[in-house]
């Protein structure tokens, strides 16, 4: 019975982390820019406002493969960002621009369950553990490999949105998030062969623009993020 309760509890926490665990519902055929594709997780997908705002600014639609619960590579809750990109490329390989985020859930999901990697700082652990740093290193390698694949496939530009600081109950993930963002930015703009621009929203999203789950942006927060992505994206359209 105790084991069952632990599993049920973990499932509830996991669902709250990703917003919802639903099958992929890709928007593959759009009346607009089929050469512009979005991939990523619930920062884009949960309320949809980030995507909708960018499309309203562009005056057109983009193909949308973002899925709540997506990890960068692997994971069982939703198609990974790797899988989203593969699906987009398989459906129509004429992709000029990718707008994306990714790798947050690879850290956040385990940290919100039992924190097996030690990514949360505690009074007795002022910095993320070596296991957490190794996990971040793995995501860095996965990011570089994905970006290199995109470049080989002929994607001309990538805009990668990083993660903002999480407030309140998740504030003790800030050091892990900062390290992860630094590595993602380096993967995007230096280490890969892709033409990639990293949008770093740290310090720009106040707690009142984050939902009570201490993870996802409110609609206002999503517009804030869109306003940071748009100046980078607009010259590419």
Cβ contacts of residue 189 below 8 Å, gap of 6+? 196, 197, 198
Task: Give the Cα separation of 101 and 72 in Å (integer).
Answer: 9
Average pLDDT over residues 103-112: 96
Domain membership of residue 133 as a residue range: 2-236
pLDDT category at 29 given cuts 50, 70, 90 is confident
Distances (CA, A) of 98 to 39, 112, 119, 227, 228: 7, 29, 29, 17, 16
Q: Residues 152-165: pLDDT tens digits? A: 999 999 999 999 99
Residue 17 is predicted with a pLDDT of 53
Cα(232)–Cα(229) distance, rounded to whole angstroms? 6
Tell me the sheet residues that pair with 27.
64
- Mean pLDDT, to the nearest integer, of 16-42? 79
- Residue 63 above 60 pLDDT? yes
* pLDDT tens by residue, 141-196: 999 999 999 999 999 999 999 999 999 999 999 999 999 999 999 999 999 999 99
Which residue has tokens 């996965």?
142
Residues 81 and 26: their CA atoms lie apart, in Å, by: 12
Express each pLDDT in 72-87 by its tens digit: 999 888 999 999 999 9
Half-sphere exposure for 224 (CA within 13 Å, toward CB): 20
* Whether pLDDT at 4 is above 70: no
Number of domains in the chain: 1
Give the CATH number, domain containing residue 221.
3.40.50.1110
Nearest to 81 by CA among 91, 96, 68, 63: 68
233: closest CA among 209, 188, 198?
Answer: 198
Output the pTM of the full model: 0.91
Question: Are the beta carbons of 42 and 18 closer than 8 angstroms?
Answer: yes
Nearest to residue 32, comparing CAs of 66, 62, 74, 55? Answer: 62
pLDDT in tens, 219-232: 999 999 999 999 99
């Amino acid at each position: 019975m105790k084991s069952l309760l632990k599993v049920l509890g973990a499932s509830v926490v996991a669902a709250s982390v990703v917003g919802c665990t639903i099958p992929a519902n890709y928007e593959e055929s759009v009346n607009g820019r089929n050469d512009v594709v979005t991939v990523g997780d619930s920062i884009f997908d949960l309320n949809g406002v980030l995507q909708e705002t960018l499309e309203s600014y562009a005056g057109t639609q983009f193909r949308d493969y973002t899925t709540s619960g997506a990890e960068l590579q692997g994971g069982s809750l939703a198609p990974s960002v790797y899988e989203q990109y593969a699906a987009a490329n398989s459906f129509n390989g004429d992709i000029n621009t990718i707008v994306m985020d990714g790798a947050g859930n690879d850290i956040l999901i385990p940290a919100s369950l039992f924190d097996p990697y030690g990514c949360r700082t505690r009074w007795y652990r002022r910095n993320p553990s070596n296991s957490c740093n190794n996990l971040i290193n793995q995501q860095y390698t996965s990011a570089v490999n994905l970006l290199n694949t995109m470049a080989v496939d002929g994607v001309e530009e990538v805009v990668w949105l990083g993660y903002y600081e999480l407030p309140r109950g998740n504030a003790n993930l800030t050091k892990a998030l900062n390290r992860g963002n630094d590595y993602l930015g380096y993967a995007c703009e230096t280490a890969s062969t892709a033409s990639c621009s990293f949008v770093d929203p740290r310090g720009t999203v106040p707690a009142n623009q984050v939902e009570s789950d201490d993870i996802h942006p409110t609609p206002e927060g999503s517009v804030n993020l869109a306003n940071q992505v748009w100046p980078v994206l607009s010259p590419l359209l």
